[in-house]
């Protein structure tokens, strides 16, 4: 149990670091980014999918936070979540036998991430048009006014630090909760659940990928490396796995419906791509 708590703390500290660095960076360019996303909403899902492939669960949490502040579109956060691979990439790159699959995995997640992101923005275009009224006033992290904030220390250090610490505390609690759940269920039982029927593995893998914890992406990747699941199941499981990003959306009661929409769309999209990939690989191999 101590290992669970230490892992939760370590994973949360990584999120704290990446969140703080990103928010410090954003404090210098957030007004330009906000205006850029406002004027170029049609390409924002593409930008999001490219950022999403960065192998850090902190990316999805920061994306959720930006969405809660109405700074990115629904399609953009969907693209980021779909493209996320969390801790999977380092594991794949460490395997000499399976490293070749890392490139097609990234291409699938980036390409279909922004394609589906465009579709989501098209389907919810009225919602995004209503959001534009809120984007007319640009605010930084902790909702401070970008234009009138004269203190550089507050703007570029204090606000990012406070905001990142809030995210850290929230992430730590969630990590501990799901870490304990996985500890008592057991990774062995989850593995048996996944490897039962080959043609169900993309769907079963997506169910495991819905667990908002780094352990789920690690488990799916390790099962693929040991050839316990096919490539299609890897794609399906990792396409829905957005780390703690999706859970972070639930902190805002006004965005719960959006979070449920995103999770449902991720489930449908990940299984669609997972099964298409499984069928293609079966035909080729």
Residue by residue, DSSP assigns the chain as -HHHHHHHHHHHHHHHHHHHHHHHHHHHHHHHHHHHHHHTTTTHHHHHHHHHTSS-HHHHHHHHHHHHTT-S-HHHHHHHHHH--TTHHHHHHT-TTTGGGHHHHHHHHHHHHHHHHHHHHHHTHHHHHHHHHHHTS-B-GGG-BTTT---HHIIIIIHHHHHHHHHHHHHHHHHHHHHHHHHHH-HHHHHHHHSS-GGGHHHHHHHHHTS-SHHHHHHHHHHHHTTSS-HHHHHHHHHH--TTHHHHHTTSGGGHHHHHHHHHHHHHHHHHHHHHHHHHHHHH-
Q: What percent of the chain has pLDDT over 70?
A: 78
User: What confidence tens digit (pLDDT) does each residue in 40-78 have?
Assistant: 666 788 888 888 877 666 678 888 888 888 878 899 999
User: What confidence tens digit (pLDDT) does each residue in 223-258 have?
Assistant: 888 788 899 999 999 999 887 788 888 878 888 888
- Judge whether residue 37 has pLDDT over 60: no
Q: What is the pLDDT of residue 141?
A: 45
User: What confidence tens digit (pLDDT) does each residue in 132-155 have?
Assistant: 545 444 444 444 444 454 567 777
Q: Are 58 and 19 in contact (CB under 8 A)?
A: yes
Confidence bin at 127 (pLDDT 50/70/90): low
Q: How far apart are CA 228 and CA 198, in angstroms?
A: 9
Q: What percent of the chain has pLDDT over 90?
A: 22
Q: Are 229 and 267 in contact (CB under 8 A)?
A: no
Q: What is the pLDDT of residue 56?
A: 62
Nearest CA-CA partner of 84 in 62, 103, 56, 64: 56
Mean pLDDT value of segment 197-222:
84
Mean of the per-residue pLDDT values of the chain: 79
* Residue that wins the pLDDT comparison between 97 and 104: 104
Q: What is the pLDDT of residue 137?
A: 45
Q: What is the pLDDT of residue 266?
A: 95
Confidence bin at 119 (pLDDT 50/70/90): very high
User: Which of 44-48, 211-215, 269-273 is predicted with the least confidence, judged by mean pLDDT?
Assistant: 211-215
Q: Are 16 and 170 in contact (CB under 8 A)?
A: no
Q: What is the pLDDT of residue 246?
A: 85
Question: Which bin fits 230, alpha (ψ -120 to 50), beta or left (φ > 0)?
Answer: beta
Q: What is this structure's pTM?
A: 0.74
Q: How far apart are CA 28 and CA 256, in angstroms?
A: 30
User: Which of 3-7, 110-114, 198-202, 213-217 is predicted with the least confidence, judged by mean pLDDT?
Assistant: 213-217
């Amino acid at each position: 149990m101590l290992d669970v708590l230490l892992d939760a703390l370590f994973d949360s500290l990584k999120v704290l670091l990446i969140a703080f660095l990103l928010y410090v960076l954003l404090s210098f360019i957030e007004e330009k980014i906000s205006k850029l996303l406002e004027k170029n909403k049609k390409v924002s899902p593409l930008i999001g999918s490219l950022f999403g492939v960065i192998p850090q669960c902190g990316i999805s949490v920061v994306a959720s936070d930006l969405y809660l502040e109405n700074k990115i579109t629904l399609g953009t956060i969907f693209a980021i979540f779909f493209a996320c691979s969390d801790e999977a990439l380092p594991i794949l790159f460490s395997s000499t036998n399976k490293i070749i699959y890392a490139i097609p995995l990234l291409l699938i997640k980036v390409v279909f991430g922004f394609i589906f992101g465009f579709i989501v923005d098209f389907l919810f275009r009225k919602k995004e048009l209503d959001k534009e009224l809120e984007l007319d006033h640009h605010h930084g992290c902790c909702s401070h006014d970008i234009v009138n904030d004269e203190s550089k220390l507050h703007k570029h250090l204090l606000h990012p630090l406070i905001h990142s610490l809030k995210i850290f505390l929230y992430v730590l609690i969630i990590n501990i909760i799901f870490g304990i759940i996985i500890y008592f269920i057991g990774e062995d039982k989850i593995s048996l659940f996944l490897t039962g029927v080959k043609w169900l593995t993309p769907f079963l893998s997506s169910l495991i990928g819905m667990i908002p914890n780094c352990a789920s992406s690690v488990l799916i990747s390790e099962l693929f490396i040991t050839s316990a699941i096919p490539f299609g199941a890897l794609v399906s499981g990792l396409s829905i796995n957005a780390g703690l990003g999706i859970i972070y959306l639930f902190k805002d009661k006004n965005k719960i419906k959006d979070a449920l929409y995103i999770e449902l769309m991720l489930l449908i999209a990940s299984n669609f791509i997972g099964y298409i990939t499984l069928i293609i690989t079966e035909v080729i191999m």
